[in-house]
Amino acid sequence: MSEPLVRVHNLTKSFGKLLAVNNVSFEIQKGQVVGFIGENGAGKTTTMRMMVTLEMPDFGHIRINGFDALNDPGEVRRRVGWMPDAYGTYDFMTVFEYLDFFARAYGFEGKEREMRVREVMEFTDLLPLADRPMNKLSKGMGQRLCLGRTLLPDPDLLVLDEPAAGLDPKARIEFKNLVRLLAAEGKTLFISSHILSELEQMCDSLLFISGGAIVHHGSSESLKNRDGQAAIVRVELAEASDKIDEWISLQPGVALLDTDNLGVRLTLENADPQSLHLLLNGLLRDGFKVSGFQRQEIRLEDAFVDILTRGNGGGGV
């Protein structure tokens, strides 16, 4: 296997008594699109900030394209593009002026700067907005501008923190298309998000973090088809029953996932046909009027919740 573009080893960071990132290790190959998933406060942003040299780790090493983030922060910064969840705006500045300023700050001069700004504006479809004041942009336009700024130095690695947060569906699709284009160009992307289904579509592999520690690293398929992964069953009832929750809690190897007006979703530790048969029989025997019984495909959200509830750190970290 070739040298990974990103190599994070034993990364640890505390803020006072809070252990934000705990012994995190992972690798990202060149050209991969990796999703970074975790609940609020799991340590996603802190990990990303350490990767882009904005935070100092208490312990551990980060190497980007062979350069150490601690000893060569300047070299790492030249190779990394960072898009934070909230980008700052400047008063009295247009979209073009903003990109032009950052192009200057990245060291582009004269014609080269003009060309680079134009290229980025074309790629992010910002040319029609060139003269618009940047504080008059919608959230989606702002995210495109922020991505444009990140792309200016043509970085090897793009680190995007919650890029789709707060976007309307149309802007989200546009943004997803931009990510696909970048991936097609061979860029390495590291994206954090809460919207797991979107990451599933965009990413080659997923990295799950919880309580500051990595709990899974692998493709979405490997996550869903893990050994011991629970089966999801949807049970629809002709008549709503208050006793179903209590009944489920008494069944070994069965847990309630969620409920709605029509029925419940359950997880079964054993997904073999015999267990499913026993479950259905049990429901009918105990007087529940079952109108539907269906095994469902495991969603990424379910797999993630399953990992968290089991505290299982499987996968190829």
Query: Which residues bind to another protein, rule: CB under 8 A?
Result: 1, 7, 9-10, 27, 52-54, 56, 59, 61, 63, 68, 70-71, 73, 77, 80-82, 84, 86-93, 97, 101-102, 104-109, 112, 149, 153
Shortest CB 50 distance to another protein, Å: 12
Phi, psi of 193 (to 5 degrees): -165, 160
Q: Cβ closer to another protein: 49 or 176? A: 49
| Contact in structure between 209 and 44 (CB atoms under 8 Å) | yes
Burial state string for 57-80 with b = 16 or more CB within 10 A and e = fewer than 16:
beebebbbbebebeeeeebbbbbb
Given a contact cutoff of 8 angstroms between Cβ atoms, the answer to whether 159 and 188 are in contact is no
Q: CB of 37 within 8 A of CB of 207? A: yes
**Residue among 27 and 200 whose Cβ is closer to another protein:** 27
CB of 220 to another protein, least distance (A): 24
Two structure tokens written together for 243: 């006793």
Q: How far is the CB of 138 from another protein (least distance, A)?
A: 18
Q: Which is nearer to another protein, 43 or 84 (CB)?
A: 84
Give whichever of 70 and 271 is closer to another protein, judged by the CB atom: 70
| Residue number, 30 or 310, with CB nearest to another protein | 30
Q: How far is the CB of 78 from another protein (least distance, A)?
A: 8
Shortest reach from residue 128's CB to another protein, in Å:
21
**At its nearest, how many Å lie between another protein and the CB of residue 42?**
21
Give the C-alpha separation, 148 to 144, whole Å.
Answer: 6
* Under 8 Å between Cβ of 190 and 52: no
| Residue number with CB closer to another protein (61 or 310) | 61
DSSP of 194-254: S-HHHHHHH-SEEEEEETTEEEEEE-HHHHHT-TTPPEEEEEEESS--TTHHHHHHHSTTE
